Amino acid sequence: IHLMQQNIGDHERMTGYLRKSDSTAKYLLSLVNDILDMSKLQSDKMVLVPKPFSVDELVSTTESLMRSRMEDKEIDFRVETSIICSNLIGDDMRIEQILVNILGNAVKFTPKGGRVIMRVLQSAEGERILTTYQVEDTGCGMSPETGRHIFEKFYQGDNSRAREGNGLGLSIVRRIVELHSGVIVYKSELGKGTVCTLTEPGNRW
């Protein structure tokens, strides 16, 4: 902002400074949100707000939130769904937060020209619907040692570009998944890519 004040008439410089200040503001916002979420979780103040929502809408909102970041890195972003009941009861804002986080890591750790697939699959278990969200990337993958620690607070693997994260994302994700009585599992191979599978039970409405 200081540089903008000094270069107000220089369109080209202003465009560059605006782009930088936009990404810095987004980074700061996500940092503040992560810190707030973490302190809510630590004082048991995070509560889910279950309400009727549409899985189809959740998928398309998440897709559009992520699409431009994928395009910036020329990543082939695919969405595959097999939904038997779109009308579920749950905290869709928190599920969206989880997906954006996992997909954000997938973009971050996948080089230009790679591929990311988001799958949403369902199966019925009596009255309950099990929804599986899966994110697969062709990124750098992680070592078994990194894989053992990814859900720990402030942990960043040695593949991590520390400037772009804070190591809080997946520890928050796991705690929210547990609040939903869900399960999250990562499978990864160094140099090959990563698959994150998250299963959550839900009721129809």
Q: Which of 140, 176, 177, 184 binds ligand ADP (CB under 6 A)?
A: 140
Specify whether the CB–CB gap between 200 and 174 falls below 8 A: no
7 exposure class (CB count in 10 Å sphere: 0-12, 13-18, 19+): middle
Q: Which of 22, 17, 107, 118 is nearest to 71 (CA)?
A: 107
Find the binding residues for ligand ADP in span 168-187 (CB under 6 A).
168-171
30 counts as binding ligand ADP under rule CB under 6 A: no
Cβ 167 to ligand ADP shortest distance, Å: 4
Residues 6+ apart with CB under 8 A from 175: 41, 46
CA–CA dist 120, 82 (Å, integer):
6
How many residues bind ligand ADP (CB under 6 A)? The answer is 23
Alpha carbons within 13 A on the beta-carbon side of 104: 18
Cβ 159 to ligand ADP shortest distance, Å: 5
Cβ 190 to ligand ADP shortest distance, Å: 9
Q: Which secondary structure element, helix H or strand E, spans residue 44, and what is its range? A: none
Cβ 81 to ligand ADP shortest distance, Å: 21
For ligand ADP, the closer CB: 43 or 154: 154
Cβ 7 to ligand ADP shortest distance, Å: 32
The residues that touch ligand ADP, with contacts defined as CB under 6 A, are 105-106, 109, 137, 139-142, 146, 150, 155-157, 159-160, 165-171, 194
